[in-house]
Homo-oligomer: A and B are copies of this chain.
């Protein structure tokens, strides 16, 4: 066996263990008995330890060196070269961070997490403040290890969007904001009311309805399944096992449907990665932003399109004939596109979502730079909320304490949601050009041409290349831009609002 073959097998072992940990996590969120928590924590901790042992095994590093020597003449875009590049990058990043700092971060996050949950329950930021202070301090120590950089934000962002910088985000967000804030005002001033008929939509029927739609969209139930959980998520245990979950609200049938289509978008990506990359870290999305682009594309650009409801409304009415007897495709389409500036990110719509992200991005930068003190953060949050969205939280629970991410010590994650939105729009615009009769096929319930396009252009590449290189290869684009995103919104809302 060559060093490369042995290296691949070593990667396979790590990947199998990661998939195993993912199954423990999936089970914990779906079927695990309530009192099994301590046993599950022990298993997850043990597995994390074993994965860490394997990743930091000196034999693994030696194998990588030997594989690099073997690969001097590899084609730079061969799987072999791409895998080696990726492993080298991971090892170099890892080697810069002292084990002690990793431990401190893990411990601080574990403590912060329960403090955050308690603080949110009491809507009292001061209970969480010292933990946030500590996490920011540790994350600054972490970032400094990657100097030089232009912004201290860059090394953190790089963990989610390799190679992307705060400078790029600043330009992108400034552009987006310039267009989005006035657009939001125009929409809110002119949109006619629209809602899904108020009624009870049975859980069983909702699940059957969603199931039919997922089948039509192309979710492969022989390689996945849908269950219920408190928060919808997608989890991958191999290219042949990508599961999604949903959450049913009897009075909001569109919530579960769109959330399922969102998770299905993630799952289609994971299922579509080339089998050449199986059991390697390349069998993944190109970045967090890329992954989010696939879920958002299906949720917003398909699931909230007029064409989709041409197909979907008759299906919807077949499951709920009583509830929908006076409704129409046009009405439901308008309902799922209703815009409202609200306080909570996870409930926000296509237009306001990115504004929520900008708020968090600005907060993170200022907190990390030290230009904003932790004690002043709630007031700053509220002011920014007013400025960007025109609404102000009545308390910290619906303001600065609403998201889990900071309590996990994760800074630099939020922007990937916005990147996902913009990338989704860019991908859609490319599909419009390259897929014949895109909307007409969707209106007929034929999603195959779109899925084939995504498979061929995006999914198959997995994490083989950097995000920038993936963008070039999949969409023939040099950078992420807000143009498509804004254009698609303007087109949709000029039709809805008549401007």
Partner of A42 from the list B12, B23, B33, B42 (CB cut-off 8 Å) is B12
Asked whether A46 is an interface residue with its Cβ less than 8 Å from the other chain, the reply is yes
- Shortest Cβ distance from A239 into B: residue: B39
- Shortest Cβ distance from A36 into B: residue: B241
Segment with Cβ contacts to B, from A144-152, A166-174, A222-230, A374-382: A222-230
Structural contact, A16 and B240, CB atoms closer than 8 A = no
Asked whether A279 is an interface residue with its Cβ less than 8 Å from the other chain, the reply is yes
CA distance A20 to B39 in the complex (A): 10
The 0/1 profile, CB within 8 Å of B marked 1, for residues 4-15 of chain A is: 000000001100
Which among A38, A43, A45, A243 has the highest number of chain B CB atoms within 10 Å?
A43
The 0/1 profile, CB within 8 Å of B marked 1, for residues 415-447 of chain A is: 000000000000000000000000000000000
Set of chain B residues within 8 Å of A329, measured between Cβ atoms: none
Asked whether A177 is an interface residue with its Cβ less than 8 Å from the other chain, the reply is no
Segment with Cβ contacts to B, from A24-32, A402-410, A452-460: A24-32
- Shortest Cβ distance from A46 into B: residue: B16
Q: A24-B20, A279-B42 are in contact. Are A31 and B240 (CB under 8 A)?
A: no
Asked whether A17 is an interface residue with its Cβ less than 8 Å from the other chain, the reply is yes
Structural contact, A39 and B238, CB atoms closer than 8 A = yes
Set of chain B residues within 8 Å of A45, measured between Cβ atoms: 16
Asked whether A19 is an interface residue with its Cβ less than 8 Å from the other chain, the reply is yes
Structural contact, B237 and A36, CB atoms closer than 8 A = yes
Within 8 A of B (CB), among A225-258: 225, 227, 237-241, 243
Partner of A16 from the list B17, B23, B47 (CB cut-off 8 Å) is B47
Structural contact, B237 and A13, CB atoms closer than 8 A = no
Partner of A238 from the list B27, B31, B42, B238 (CB cut-off 8 Å) is B42
Set of chain B residues within 8 Å of A192, measured between Cβ atoms: none
Structural contact, B19 and A237, CB atoms closer than 8 A = no
Shortest C-beta distance, A306 to chain B (Å), equals 33
Number of copies of this kind of chain in the complex: 2
Set of chain B residues within 8 Å of A279, measured between Cβ atoms: 42
Structural contact, B36 and A240, CB atoms closer than 8 A = yes
Structural contact, A19 and B43, CB atoms closer than 8 A = yes
Asked whether A394 is an interface residue with its Cβ less than 8 Å from the other chain, the reply is no
Q: How many chain A residues touch the partner (CB < 8 A)? A: 40
CA distance A223 to B39 in the complex (A): 10
Within 8 A of B (CB), among A183-238: 220-225, 227, 237-238
Q: A38-B240, A241-B36 are in contact. Are A43 and B16 (CB under 8 A)?
A: yes
Asked whether A49 is an interface residue with its Cβ less than 8 Å from the other chain, the reply is yes
Set of chain B residues within 8 Å of A223, measured between Cβ atoms: 33, 35-36
Asked whether A34 is an interface residue with its Cβ less than 8 Å from the other chain, the reply is yes
Q: A27-B23, A27-B27, A46-B12 are in contact. Are A35 and B240 (CB under 8 A)?
A: yes
The 0/1 profile, CB within 8 Å of B marked 1, for residues 261-284 of chain A is: 000000000000000000100000
Set of chain B residues within 8 Å of A49, measured between Cβ atoms: 13
CA distance A42 to B8 in the complex (A): 14
CA distance A493 to B486 in the complex (A): 82
Set of chain B residues within 8 Å of A222, measured between Cβ atoms: 33-35
Asked whether A40 is an interface residue with its Cβ less than 8 Å from the other chain, the reply is yes
CA distance A24 to B20 in the complex (A): 7
Structural contact, A237 and B39, CB atoms closer than 8 A = yes
CA distance A33 to B243 in the complex (A): 9
Asked whether A50 is an interface residue with its Cβ less than 8 Å from the other chain, the reply is yes
- Shortest Cβ distance from A18 into B: residue: B43
CA distance A33 to B43 in the complex (A): 23
Structural contact, A33 and B241, CB atoms closer than 8 A = yes
Structural contact, A241 and B32, CB atoms closer than 8 A = yes
Set of chain B residues within 8 Å of A19, measured between Cβ atoms: 39, 43
Given contacts A13-B46, A17-B46, 11 further A-B contacts (CB under 8 A): A12-B42, A13-B49, A20-B24, A20-B46, A31-B227, A36-B223, A36-B238, A40-B237, A42-B279, A43-B238, A50-B50
